[in-house]
Chain A
Amino acid sequence: MPDKNTALVQGTLDMLILKALALEPMHAYGIGLRIEQISQGVFQINPGSLFPAFKRLERAGWVDGEWRATENNRRARYYILTSLGRKQLKAETRDWKAQSIAITRILEA
């Protein structure tokens, strides 16, 4: 999928979604908003790529989907991090840190 609007590193969207869900279950819009906020607007999430990512994560068993009422009493599909997803997030975070340190070292050498 071509991600035209974002400078997201390939494959990091899944990790960011997992991170966003680590605090509390959220719906699609909320997740996109949360990632933008935390990154202070650096990452503009293409909403079109969010939905395939949700399906991927559900298939992998890292998140569960559930219909709930929103704060303004509408129905929305909330995504919940599973314990498998939590483990995955931990592993990905660790890998990412190791990689980014290495890359930083290379770039500053």
Chain B
Amino acid sequence: MNIFRHLLAGLKELVRRDKTESELTEELNSYLQNAAEAKVRAGATPEEALRSARLELGGVETVKHEVRAVGWETALEVFLQDVRYGMRMWLKAPLFTVVALATIAIGIGANTAIFTLVDAILLRPLPYPEPQRLLVAGTHLRGGSGVELISTADFLAWRDRQQSFENIAVVDRSGSNFALSGMGPPERIPGVRVSANFFSVFGVAPLKGRGFRPQEDRPGAPGVVVLSEKFWRDHLDSDPEVLGRTLTLDGKQHTIISVMPAAFSFPPRKPAAMWANLTLSPPAGRPPYALLAFGRFKPGISPRTAEAELNEITAQVTAQYPNSDDLVAVTEPMKEWMVSDISTALLVLLGAIGLLLLIVIVNVTNLLLARATARQSEVALRMALGASRMRVVRQLLTESTVLSLMGGALGLLLAFGAVRAFLAFGPGQMPRLEEVSINPGVLLVTFVVCVGCGILFGLAPALETSRPSMSGTLKGTTRSSSSSAPVHRTHRTLLVFEVALGLVLMIGSGLLIRSFVRLSGVNPGVRADHVITAAISLSGKYSDPPQIQQFWQQYLEKVQSLPGVSAAGITMSLPPNLLLITNPFMVEGQSFDRHLQQQLAEEMAVSPDYFRAMGIPLIKGRFFSPSEKVEGRKDPRIVIINETMAKQYFSGKDPIGSRIQTGEPDPNGPWETIVGVVGDAKYSGLDSSPAPTLYVPYNEYGWVTWSRDMYLVVRSSGNAQELVPAIRSQLASMDGTLPLAQVRTMEELLDESLVQQRFRTWLITSFAAIALLLSAIGLYALISYSVSQRTREIGVRVALGAQRGNVLRMVLREGLQLLGFGLLLGLLGAFLATRVIRSLLYSTSATDALSFIATSLTLFAVALLACYIPARRATKVDPVVALRYE
């Protein structure tokens, strides 16, 4: 009520400012007249009466000022006046303003861009109703860690017996694409198979149509599919009659039952264009483990209780399959599961950008300090005319905030560009990218940061300039350096910090660069040149093993016979990071203990020529031969192992002819005989440590049905890229519904596997470069300023016989002192700070000496140059000119 009245009255006054002013003048005049008349009646002359009445009032203008100060609207007017004045001041010093604005724009822009990512990916809740009740559930071996995939047996038991969840669903992680045919050329569409209650877990209703029905994940259910809004729009022109139409996915008819809203996206990183029903048959055994579970626990249940219940059920399943692994159930909040691997990198980026912003603030503070000395006489004049220190500080702070906001506005433009560039680069690298946007929340944070910065870098200069003992300034003795000594001290202290912060950033970037160089130099174990790869998935109509084997054999023969092809093979997994499965194994003679952590090997089915096509060298024994085709359970099985496995498990023995067993341990199960040893190749990323790898013939019994989704690997004698049309037409000549997807050269695959590391290294390095530049500018400005302050002193020294070398040393000494302190502080800071990036480094210590030394030297060299230029100018001081100047 009261506030309302004040607000309203203030607004009224703002509107009718002139009237209020004239009324006040009239009222004061009438008062003076009354007072004067009274004095005349008491015997004074009219002139005297008016004069003493005025004196009693204490100055008409002062009273007016005090009356105006009662309302809030005056504060606003003063503020606007300061803003206008500030703008004019900045326009008067264009060079200074451009440098300051550019510095602020870079700092604020980079901050806003990174904060936008952190906000969308880490801070905001997931875009589902009550996301805090969503859990991801999986299992791992007792003593293991992480949420790993579960079996159908475990999921069915969970679904039917659990009480803690409103809904629990699974997604099939063994496939992430569908081959879409019948709509133009065959195409691979990102898509997953999910259980019937999948959408109920998320609590998101379709845009149109219905959700899955419970019976639609039972065995024998007809194929149904839910489309993403994007697929519906791009592929079906947002057909309003889309429901009930059918799509051919992996060669099987699926009826479209609904379209999801655009905001729904799953899985993270590689959002699906469609979700089809997964049919879950009661399993014969516990493996394979290919499902990931999601649940929404009931209100009032704790995630711990829910996990304990799932664990109990998993124990029952383990008891049901006595030969299977001893698994425990684990859950993780869905958001953590989505972002955990990216959060360190993002937070490091945020930290780095925070450092950069601090450097920006220090630099702008120093610019303003240098300028403050130039404005000392103006400020001193104002204060002599009666402006209070408060009033002057307020005006100077308004000016710096105006500067900061203008810089921030430019920075926002930069940030918009940066975020857009990031979104173009990012898909597949980061989760939740579809939620990234510069939203009002981010804008608010940017605004607050701008105002905060404006006050921060304005405060020291404002306090210095408005120091009360400024009488000397008016007298014109500015040139004697004593009056600006405190300014200079603040200036120098800040510069030490700037150098230190810059060094911390540079060392961080040095470590990342070194780690990246090491990572790029890792031998992938293959000869990457002249190799083209592509993904081919056989559709559902290739169901029995002979059919599948026949297809591959014929296709490989056709590709092999193409001109320019020197070798062609197929494989389930591709270097350097497209590993499909790992399998437990046992070497003959080892005893089995189900409670021990299993020994795991990367295992993949390959065709005989895969090794030649990929350039994986044979070390011992032989490759598979094309004639080997094993049809029955009784036939002998063969396997090729890699060097690491040979060293780890057959040290001193000849592995050739030894036998191993893979999968579920089974005393009566078949043994596999090792026929060859090949060189190590990376399948779990270039940064992975060497692991045992097993290769089996793709056409071996038990593996053929797994071999419907394969990568084709072709080595060419010329340009590998030129083979693609022929490879594609050969595929079309065999089956027109099969797409040739993910066509990449091996070099591209290697390159793409490092995209995240390259990106963050590049980003932090550019921050560090900016920091280096800003520190150099800061030092340069300080030394130049110092030289200009000491021109007279230098002139006297030269006049008294100082040599140019002496002058140079004297000026450089000042810079070197600051630099030395800064470097020392920076090294100390870096020792403490770099440990946070330890997890991002590949075979590089967080205190890697070379990075520390090399970056310190770089900073030292650049900073020295920045000091040297003004120092050299000092040596050119002409004593005659300098002394006359006084």
Contacts and interface: CB of A to CB of B under 8 A. Distances in A.
B27 interface: yes
Given A1-B66, A52-B70, A47 B6 contact: no
Interface string A39-75: 0000000111101101110111100000000100011
Interface stretch (B29-37, B122-130, B790-798): B29-37
B27 A77 contact: yes
Contacts of B33: 74
A29 interface: yes
Contacts of A77: 23, 26-27, 30
Given A29-B35, A59-B9, A76-B30, A51 B23 contact: no
B55 to A, nearest CB: 10
Contacts of B35: 29, 47
A55 B70 contact: yes
A19 to B, nearest CB: 20
A86 interface: no
Contacts of A46: 56, 58
B31 A29 contact: yes
Nearest to A49: B66
B9 A27 contact: no
B5 interface: yes
Contact of A74 (B23, B24, B30, B56): B30
B28 interface: yes
Contacts, number: 67
A56 B28 CA distance: 16
Contacts of B63: 47-48, 51-52
| B contacts with A: majority SS | helix
B62 interface: yes
Contact of A28 (B9, B31, B58, B66): B31
Contacts of B131: none
A77 B63 CA distance: 16
B57 interface: yes
Nearest to B30: A76
Interface in B393-427: none
B69 interface: yes
Given A27-B34, A46-B58, A51 B28 contact: yes
A52 B69 contact: yes
B817 to A, nearest CB: 48
Nearest to A5: B56
Interface in B514-547: none
B6 A59 contact: yes
A47 B57 contact: yes
Given A29-B34, A46-B58, A58-B9, 11 more contacts: A29-B35, A30-B34, A47-B31, A48-B63, A51-B24, A51-B28, A51-B66, A52-B63, A55-B71, A70-B34, A77-B27
19 contacts: A1-B66, A27-B34, A28-B27, A29-B35, A29-B38, A46-B58, A47-B35, A48-B57, A48-B63, A48-B66, A49-B66, A51-B28, A55-B70, A60-B5, A61-B5, A70-B30, A74-B30, A75-B30, A77-B30
Interface of A: 1, 27-30, 33, 46-49, 51-52, 54-56, 58-61, 70, 74-77
Closest 10 CB pairs of A and B: A29-B34, A48-B58, A55-B70, A77-B27, A76-B30, A52-B66, A28-B31, A51-B67, A47-B57, A48-B63
